[in-house]
Structure 1
Amino acid sequence: MTHTVSHGVQVDLDRLFVDVRLSGLVTPEDAGWIGEEVRAAIRSLGDKVGRHVTLYDASGVQVVPPATVELLKQTFDNPQVRALWARKVAFVTNTALARLQAQRLREVRPDLGLFDDRETAIAWLLEG
């Protein structure tokens, strides 16, 4: 089976900005191991965890399996993950279906920002 997901995780310590880029088909298994990488990046902020912001740029993702959405909701709702929550979280999607799927995450993170483009999302995350 061909692996059809790619991702990158970068941390900007000066701006307390965690930048996650995703493309392809993100299966529940992929979401699990990518999530571990994201949480490790967040932990690298040390005592600044919770003051950071996180961007999930999923503009390269057309749609994810329903099981992936459910896994993400459960992960966001997990108390151990909540301890690492960003001050602000934004998702960039550029298809109507992916946006609808990302909106489901608002059931556990109501303040989640949804954006059509990366620049607007970053501006929102870093304002104020």
Structure 2
Amino acid sequence: MYSITTEPARKLVRLKLMGMLSREQVAALYHEEHLAIRAMHCRPGDHLCIVDLTECPLQLQDVANAFQLGIKSDAKAKRLAMFTGQALGRMQARRIARERDEVMIFERREEAEAWLFADEARSAA
């Protein structure tokens, strides 16, 4: 399962992954994410994304491969932050995201948001 919410003022997509997913669910997730990006009137690659993995166990290899394909798509976020308290979950997230720039994996939401919005904080100062 997953949920997708947006904050159009920040051009932000929030994803929350829960439980074991299938390849079909990963495809549906990316499709719905692209619709959410368009609904915010963002061009692909002009948005930020944060992914909550705290309720997401390690995924099967074929599902991890599906995430890896999607994470490299043309609609990828300008910056992508993922977080989970599970060390093995962070390791899997790093493997999935290893071919992407501007991706960081964190233990806590606060760390992920601080990195994700660092440019916003600097320009406000």
What range is the shorter-chain TM-score in?
Answer: 0.7 to 0.9
Establish whether residue 97 from structure 1 lines up as the match of residue 88 from structure 2: yes
Determine helix, strand or coil for the equivalent of 2:21.
Answer: coil
Give matches, 1:2-41, under 5 Å: 6-41=1-36
Q: TM-score, normalised by structure 2?
A: 0.85
Match for residue 87 of structure 1? 78
Deviations 1:68-116 (A, max 9, x none): 1111112223xxx32x221100111221221111111233213311011
Identity of aligned residues (%): 24
Match for residue 42 of structure 1? 37
Match for residue 109 of structure 1? 100
Per the TM alignment, residue 48 of structure 1 is displaced from its structure 2 partner at its CA by: 4.6
Determine helix, strand or coil for the equivalent of 1:46.
Answer: coil
Determine helix, strand or coil for the equivalent of 2:85.
Answer: coil
Tell me how far apart the structure 2 counterparts of residues 47 and 62 of structure 1 sit (CA, whole Å): 31
Match for residue 3 of structure 1? none
Tell me how far apart the structure 1 counterparts of residues 7 and 49 of structure 2 sit (CA, whole Å): 10
Establish whether residue 69 from structure 1 lines up as the match of residue 64 from structure 2: yes
Match for residue 124 of structure 1? 115
Unpaired runs of 5+ residues, structure 2, are 120-125
Q: TM-score, normalised by structure 1?
A: 0.83
Q: CA RMSD in A?
A: 1.6
Tell me how far apart the structure 1 counterparts of residues 115 and 93 of structure 2 sit (CA, whole Å): 17
Answer whether contact 2:83 2:106 (CA < 8 A) is retained. Answer: yes
Partner amino acid for 2:89?
A: A
Per the TM alignment, residue 65 of structure 1 is displaced from its structure 2 partner at its CA by: 0.6
Tell me how far apart the structure 2 counterparts of residues 43 and 97 of structure 1 sit (CA, whole Å): 33
Alignment coverage as a number of residue pairs: 119
Tell me how far apart the structure 2 counterparts of residues 67 and 97 of structure 1 sit (CA, whole Å): 17
